[in-house]
Amino acid sequence: MRVKEVMNKAIAIDHDVSIKEAAKIMSEKNIGSLIAIKGTKILGIITEKDVVDNISDLGRKVSSLMTKKVVTINPDEDTDNAAILMKKNKIKRVPVVEDDKLIGIITATDLIANSDDLNEDFFFD
């Protein structure tokens, strides 16, 4: 199965948005992460854990705490490769990028929901 078959829509925000605003967007959209961008360039990712860890300082900008080294994947990659990438990097979410443009996101939850199509070696490694 290909990443593009199980990915979800990614929600992007400006990197200068406040943590409070990011938390509000995550809550309204019922999602666990946002991709911080400037123009069309991915600058980072902020997760609900980042927000919780910084709950006492919600006025700060997302850019001050987002993860800046963002691991991405191509939509035509196999979901097994997405699982391997997540495991190797100890992450739960990977933005999907095509021609340097954000087109979606794939999460560990997406992989688990489609686990019948994953290589069993991933789970029993």
What confidence score (pLDDT) does residue 121 get?
52
> What is the value of pTM for the model shown?
0.85
Q: Which residue range is the domain that position 63 belongs to?
A: 3-122
List Cα–Cα distances, 115 to 20, 77, 93, in angstroms: 34, 16, 16
Q: pLDDT tens for residues 34-82?
A: 999 998 899 999 999 999 999 898 899 999 999 999 999 999 999 999 9
At 43, which CATH number? 3.10.580.10
What is the C-alpha to C-alpha distance for residues 90 and 75, in angstroms, rounded to an integer? 20
Single-letter code of the amino acid located at 21? E
Sign of CA dihedral 65, 14, 32, 72: negative
What confidence score (pLDDT) does residue 124 get?
45
